[in-house]
Amino acid sequence: MSQLQTRFFTDNKKYSVDDVPFSIPAASEVQELSNVINKLLEAKNGSHSQIEFDFLVRGQFLRTSLSNHMEAEGISTEDVVEIEYVERFTAPQPEECMMHDDWISSVEADSEWILTGSYDKTARIWSLEGKAVMTVAGHTDVVKDVAWVRRDGLTSLLLTASLDQTILLWEWNSERNKLKARHCCRGHAGSVDTIATDPTRTKFCSGSWDKMLKIWSAVATEEEEEVEEPPSRPRKKQKTEQLGLTRTPLMTLSGHNEAVSSVLWLDSEEICSASWDHTIRLWDAETGSVKTTLTGSKVFNHISYSPLCRRLASGSTDRHVRLWDPRSKDGSLVLLSLTSHSGWVTAVKWAPSHEHQLVSGSLDNLVKLWDTRSCKTPLYDVSAHEDKVLCVDWTDSRLMLSGGADNKLYTYRYTACETDAGA
């Protein structure tokens, strides 16, 4: 079999080898290349222990034999091949399984606590170890989305959005484990499917089935804001039984022709929303006008934005995860399609600390971990769920979360490579 001239390099100083070309059999695969690097490292440093590596040829992960990969990518085998190697991202290990009473519609984790919304009309707070800490009950219908607002020491503010057309802002003291509904945000005329807190943690945006986006203040205050609301509303009668003070939106963004399915803040001035009308819109949060419209061909279920790589990932009612550049001016430009799911992609989430990784959940019961440098196959398939996966999330503390229609919230531990963290 033919030999290839290769040169190995890495960003990680710990594992760097000499910059000399090696002759490698063209049929060699990842395992053989990994052995080569380990041999070289052992020769350099006697105390080196075996490490699994992954290899990138021109920014694409090597998944087949080297010759096949180069043929597929159309790289000449005459020249010296530059191969980058990184420590292999190990498979996410299932850690905890948190049982709920009903389907889990949404999950959001901060560094200590996990907040989940469920179809049993409650939201729950869990510790990272999987202990149920608090049940947030107050909605009269299914909780569709949850979000953390801010934490000041031991008190946290959190939001729950529900099918009963309200968003509740709660204050939770983790030491005394006391929960208090501070505000009830009314104004939507349909189920509130999505909420997102802005980067300054003072506002949040919500998207609803009534095609509207509304921006609300996320600061808990003691004053009544009732003056803003016209007194003739029939809802006023119900206020006696309400939780917390009623709050009205600061601003309403209208423009979508169908239900809004997902909303997020790109930065403190820009909101991005995905809708059933096959569009993703970028809004100016100050003026409330549409800045850009990205048009797709299918209903969007969920979007996620990574400030590291400045890409938007979308999950839609087909099998693909699509990556978009929200800054591109020429409208609808799909940068990349990640195709491996066999059902609707219901949830996507970029890794908080890695610019290439994202996780997606689908109706085919699978959670997939993707690396954008390997768009044909995902890095790992996680098949823990027995029913539809409805939500996924990451935490900064090396946990991946996924919840679904089998009433279970799974957490998985993953190890990020040193080099990639903070890249």
Partner 1 sequence: MMRLSVSRPEKLYSTPITDIRNTVGNVPMEWYQDYPHIGYNLDGKKIFKPIRNKDELDEFLDKMENPDYWRTVHDKTTASDIRLTDEQVDLVHRLQKGQFGDVNFNEYEPSVDFFTNEVMIHPVTNRPQDKRSFIPSLIEKEKVSKLVHAIKMGWIKPRKPKETTPQYYDLWAKEDPNAILGRHKMHVPAPKMRLPGHEESYNPPPEYLLTEEERLVWEQQDAEDRKLPFLPQKHSCLRAVPAFSRFIHERFERCLDLYLCPRQRKMRVNVNPEDLIPKLPKPKDLQPFPTTMSLVYRGHTSLVRSISASPTGQWLVSGSDDFTVRFWEVNTGRCMKTLEVGGAVKSVAWNPNPAVCLVAVERTVLLLNPSLGDRLVVSSTDQLITAYEPPEEDKEQAVTWALSEGLEHNMGHRLTLTHPKAVKQVVWHGKGDYLSSVMPDNSSNLQVLIHQVSKRRTQNPFRKNKGLVQCVSFHPLRPYFFVATQRYVRVYNLIKQELTKKLMTNCKWISSMAIHPGGDNLICGSYDCRLAWFDLDLSTKPYKMLRHHKKALRGVAYHRNYPLFASGADDGSVIVCHGMVYNDLLQNPLIVPVKVLKGHQITHDLGVLDVTFHPTQPWVFSSGADTTIRLFT
Give contact residues for partner 1 (rule: CB under 8 A).
Answer: 103, 119, 142, 164-165, 189-191, 209-210, 234, 258-259, 276, 297-299, 301, 317-318, 343-344, 363, 388, 390, 405
Question: Shortest Cβ distance from residue 297 to partner 1 (Å)?
Answer: 7
Distance CA 312, CA 324 (A): 5
Q: Among residues 191 and 292, whose Cβ is nearest to partner 1?
A: 191
Closest CB to partner 1 among residues 68, 317: 317
Measured from the CB atom, is 52 or 387 closer to partner 1? 387
Would you say 197 or 206 has its CB closer to partner 1?
206
Find out whether 53 and 86 touch, Cβ atoms under 8 Å.
yes
Pick 144 or 354: Cβ nearer partner 1: 144
The CA-based angle 326-332-333, given to 5 degrees, is 75
CA 259, distance to chain mean position in Å, is 21
Q: Whole-number minimum distance, CB 165 to partner 1, in Å?
A: 6
CB of 319 to partner 1, least distance (A): 8
Instruction: Report in angstroms how near the CB of residue 273 gets to partner 1 at its nearest.
Output: 16
Which one, 119 or 170, has the nearer CB to partner 1?
119
Alpha-carbon span 333 to 322, nearest angstrom: 10
- Which three-class secondary structure string do you get for the chain? CCEEEEEEECCCHHHCCCCCCEEEECCCCHHHHHHHHHHHHHHHCCCCCCCCEEEEECCEECCCCHHHHHHHHCCCCCCCEEEEEEECCCCCEEEEEEECCCCEEEEEECCCEEEEEECCCEEEEEECCCCEEEEEECCCCCEEEEEEEEEECCEEEEEEEECCCEEEEEEEECCCCEEEEEEEEECCCCCEEEEEECCCCCEEEEEECCCEEEEEECCCCCCCCHHHCCCCCHHHHHHHHCCCEEECCCEEEECCCCCEEEEEEEECCEEEEEECCCEEEEEECCCCCEEEEEECCCCEEEEEEECCCCEEEEEECCCEEEEECCCCCCCCCEEEEEECCCCCEEEEEECCCCCCEEEEEECCCCEEEEECCECCCCCEEECCCCCCEEEEEEECCCEEEEEECCCEEEEEECCCCCCCCCC
Distance between CA 204 and CA 218 in Å, rounded? 6
Distance of closest approach, residue 26 Cβ to partner 1, in angstroms? 39
We find the least distance from the C-beta atom of residue 404 to partner 1, in angstroms, to be: 10
Smallest gap from Cβ 381 to partner 1, in A, equals 20
Output the six-digit token pair for 253. Answer: 């963004």
**Shortest Cβ 264–partner 1 spacing (Å):** 19
Longest dimension (CA), the chain: 84
Smallest separation, CB 142 to partner 1 (Å): 8
Nearer to partner 1, 2 or 232 (CB): 232
- Of the pair 373, 388, the CB lying nearest partner 1 is at 388
Closest contact distance (angstroms) between CB of 209 and partner 1 is: 6
Pick the closer one to partner 1 by CB: 95 or 102: 102
Between 197 and 362, name the residue whose CB sits nearer to partner 1. Answer: 362
